[in-house]
Structure 1
């Protein structure tokens, strides 16, 4: 198990993207959190098996209304989450 920090840029705020990220993660059995950043990006911390996280990243592009221009994924300090939540400002 590992935790990844994933940053999404493009048209990813105010289009239901965080809910789509949460649902995709939950459907694959991942846990974590997703939040909007002040600079317009969306940040997700995702914990699970590496192969499942890779599958998660592939499914995110099907989120409706979002236009993902760039994805940056880096390993993060292992973090345990109880579920997959959307952080609100």
Structure 2
């Protein structure tokens, strides 16, 4: 990990919250998933590095979790709209 990456990540609002909020446990579905994603996005909404986090997730093609206020389905849809194969 580069020093620049470490610097912006250290400023993330998510640093104050368990990573479980941002990544789906096995077999999570329906309302439980929707609730967890909504709570993660609330954390992201107030984050000073939201844009940088989102750029990182798109550039590195993060396949899982909420990054920069976007969940994996939203990132995959963005890739599809851009004509790029989404991450698996």
| TM-score, normalised via structure 2 length | 0.32
Which protein is richer in strand relative to its size?
Answer: 1
Which protein is richer in helix relative to its size?
Answer: 2
User: Which one has the largest radius of gyration?
Assistant: 2
